[in-house]
Amino acid sequence: MKYQKPKGTADILPPFSKEWQFVEQNARETFALYNYEEIRTPIFEKFEVFSRSAGDTSDIVTKEMYDFDDKGGRHIALRPEGTAGVVRAFVENKLYGPEHQKPVKVYYMGPMFRYERPQSGRLREFHQIGVEAFGSDSPKIDVETIMMGMDFLKKLKVSGLKLVINTLGDKESRDRYRQALIDYLEPHFEELSDDSKARLHKNPLRVLDSKDKNDQKIVENAPEILDFLTEDAQKHFTSVKEELDTLGVDYVVDSSMVRGLDYYNHTIFEIMIADSPLGKGDVTICAGGRYNGLVEELGGPEVSGVGFGLGVERLLLLLNAETQTTLQSKQLDFYVVGIGDLVQNDVLKVVHELRQMNFVTEQDYLDRKPKAQFKSADKLNAKYVVTIGESEMNDRVFKLKDMHSGEERTVALSEINTLKDLLK
């Protein structure tokens, strides 16, 4: 093979591209109901946009960034996630200005890049759909974001949804908790895994998320963030829970849940799927939360934000079999069979007219015999076949065959408009 796609990339071919369109369309429709509008930002940004926002200790920055120096010597990175670029655009375009209704609600969808070892459902170029809302500290917007994510997944008929929430509190809560965690973990330092040792002082919250069995055991009795919340943080989280209760949404609080990105605080949430093609047990399909402070971090005013992101490749694996079958099935209204060179002009006109009537219409382009053309019509799942041979041409008619029933009748060319009623 002379050329292969770059490692960790994928071609999205028909009919699977239909599934992508389906997901994207449902996302647009769902978000529109919540009055979110689309924002499109560059696929690459200055490296610092991501390193500043994600946190210097995050894995994304330290080892997964797809970065390079361009010809002008600029340090560029392909976006590893959507939020940083949106925040940069929010600040640069001064969407925090008084003329913009708050909160500013936007969504995006598109490719993201992480330089890592590909595995199934994990590519170097992958796609995310995400939303962000800026300018409200109200728990209402936290809840709305969560509901929107749930609605979207429900609309796609993804089953087994499970909502898990937690809070990271505000800065004060987090600082207090951070210290408590360090105090708790330090006596166990020697028992910790190497990764956790490294994280203990840089970002102790991440230790909670360790996959190491022994770490998990140590962490089991660690102090919980919920006990270190300031009054305000406590209130915020309580409101979020109450509103979810009001809406009758089931959820569980997992106080050990953290985030891979450093910019989150207050409410964080994950929508998980129990036992799915993604793996046994609960797997996260959609993750998000609040990120007050990030706008300032990127040079803007003190404006809060909340959002979520979800991976499209993973989501597609969760579409149920019926949805996939429906989306992938071929459907043609008409196939026009022409017999002989003399009728080509009539075929041309009929095909054109059928398309003008909004019928999905196909014809033969390979000068094949009627038998082969009918075979194609069958393969393409055509509902009707129009046949034009020399005799039909001379009589100014065409044959119309219902491929399902097999019935065939003759229609005058001048009456072609009556076909409008055929398919409702």
Partner RNA sequence: GCGGUAUUGGCGAAGUGGUUAACGCACCGGAUUGUGGCUCCGGCACGCGUGGGUUCGAUUCCCACAUACCGCCCCA
Smallest distance from RNA to CB 2, Å:
8
From 226-234, 279-287, 299-307, 412-420, span contacting RNA (CB under 7 A): 279-287
Q: How far is the CB of 193 from RNA (least distance, A)?
A: 8
Largest CA distance in the chain: 97
* CA–CA dist 385, 367 (Å, integer): 17
* Residue 330 within binding range of RNA, rule CB under 7 A: no
Q: Please report, for residues 21, 59, 254, 289, 291, the alpha-carbon distance to residue 261 in angstroms, rounded to integers and kept in the order given.
A: 29, 8, 18, 11, 10
| Choices 5-13, 16-24, 71-79, 296-304 (CB under 7 A): range interacting with RNA | 5-13
User: From start to end of 237-292, where are the E strands?
Assistant: 252-253, 265-273, 283-290
Q: Is there binding between residue 178 and RNA (CB under 7 A)?
A: no
307 three-state secondary structure = strand
Residue 311 binds to RNA (criterion: CB under 7 A): yes
Among 339, 360, 413, 422, binds RNA (CB under 7 A): 339
Scanning 41-49, 94-102, 115-123, 247-255 for contacts with RNA by CB under 7 A, the matching segment is: 115-123
Q: How far is CA 104 from CA 33, 134, 140, 382, in A?
A: 15, 5, 14, 47
Contact residue for RNA among 131, 158, 192, 285 (CB under 7 A) = 285
> Please, what is the minimum distance in Å from the beta carbon of residue 104 to RNA?
22
Q: What distance in Å separates the CA atoms of residue 160 and residue 288, rounded to the nearest whole number?
A: 19
Helix (H) / strand (E) containing 52: helix 47-54
In the complex, the smallest distance separating the C-beta of residue 394 from RNA, rounded to whole angstroms, is: 8
User: Given CA atoms 86, 88, 89, 91 in this order, what sign does their dihedral have?
Assistant: positive
Asked whether position 291 contacts RNA by CB under 7 A, the answer is: no
> What stretches of 70-168 show up as alpha helix (H) in DSSP?
83-92, 139-155
Give the binding site for RNA (CB under 7 A).
1, 4-9, 59, 64, 114, 116-123, 126, 128, 195, 206, 209-212, 259-261, 279, 284-287, 309-311, 313-314, 339, 368-372, 374-379, 385, 387, 389-392, 399, 401, 403-404, 406, 408
